[in-house]
Amino acid sequence: MSSFIETYNCRLGSVNPNKYLISSREDLSRCLVSAELAHHNEALLDIATRVEFLSEIHAQIIYHKEALFEVYSTESSLGRLRFNAEFDRTLKQLNAYRDAAIALSIQKNKSILPDRTISKKPMPLGPIAVFGASNFPLAYATLGGDVMGAFAAGCPVIVKGHPLHAGTSLLSAKLIYNAREKLNLHPGVFGHVLDDGFDIGQTLVQDPRIKGCGFTGSFSGGMALYRLTQNRKDPIPCFAEMGSINPVIILPNEQGLSIHLNSLVQSITTDAGQFCTKPGVLFCPNSMLPEALKILDYAFKKAAPHPMLHPSVQERYHCKLEEITRNFDGKSYLSTEKEFGITRGFFQVSIEQFLKNPSLQQELFGPTAVIVAYDTSDELLRGLAPLKGQLTITLIGENPETSVFFKWACTHAGRVILNGVPTGVSVVANMHHGGPFPASTDDRFSAVGEASIQRFIRYVSVQNSVST
């Protein structure tokens, strides 16, 4: 097994020149010892320290923007426009968590009873392990929301960097180290390790010094970490966002089909469909199907080509397509674009065909979707029945909030979209990015927005008797 990680440039079709050393168990042990000491010494307990730390990280990110873009673009194959959007989002969410920490610190939580007072204060959980996502090298990785949310809560953090963008993760870590050193903070407030397998990550979340875990990625990866955290002698919370199929329901009263379908295809194909909120299945009335098929087929064919994150991601995607077609008795509208050799398009099936093929009911990480035709509300409900918890559900039609499916959507998803697209998760106070299992391991909490800081705190009530 190699002791180095190499990254790949999918636009050039070549391995990048830099190699990155894989962390040893000794490296991890040093991070764990230091993180525990930082927490014991209350290194980030003072709100002023947290605000200063997050503000300095913000300044470091801005100063090193072009250096970040250089390594980001070569490792992820994502372009300047996507980088700028993700860069701005990273700064915005950092500011949001900083402001949320301030608001939390000044809350007056006290109950005055005849014989006692009871006050409640937030406390940091302790050292947090964070696993970054492959598809967001900034906003959901080493400089991402889980890390900044944990810092805002006052927790030390150890990041296990994602191997597909190891250089970006290491540079991001350096910016946090710079901020830490400039402010002379305890070295244990932040640690970073790299691994191209599972050993370091498993050891990290099983260590008793770790008190919580944040993860964004696949269902298999999230559940593996969740089981490890729950099977410890001292179980800890594991907040895993694991993606979903994000169904779209086109209602029979929809009048602007072309506009919505073109927007949905853009949502499906942007950055090669590598989003956890990509719409994966569209339920369409049979009466609209002929028009919908023409619009979709044309829109997919004219969509701009885009590379996937890594050859291994592309291989898994194409293997999934092959799995679907082996047991498929519907009609496919697939084509392979020449520039990057990525197949894209959609499958057309009836409700019965959809129900018979479980592969169609699972998340497909790439620029492909399924369109399912239905006639009646009862038939549509049968088609929706096998779909479990979702990050998002979209309703398209006139007054969709009055539809019988609005309540169903609210029950099954963390976010319901009315006449829009699910991609583009805004960092605002009222955003909820999570959903009933299997979209996430705990749908009470959001991975985006100020409320996400709540994942990394616990409350202590102090009861004080009143002298009489």
> Which residues participate in catalysis according to the annotation?
241, 276
User: Does residue 242 contact residue 217 with C-beta atoms inside 8 Å?
Assistant: yes
Dist CA 359 CA 361 (whole Å): 5
284-302 exposure pattern, b = at least 16 Cβ within 10 A, e = fewer: bbeebbeebbebbbebbee
48-60 exposure pattern, b = at least 16 Cβ within 10 A, e = fewer: ebbbbbbebbbeb
Dist CA 199 CA 208 (whole Å): 16
Give the residue from 371, 384, 379, 383 showing the smallest Cα distance to 293: 371
* Half-sphere exposure (Cβ direction) of 462: Cα atoms closer than 13 Å: 8
Give the residue from 63, 216, 207, 194 showing the smallest Cα distance to 139: 216
Dist CA 468 CA 466 (whole Å): 6
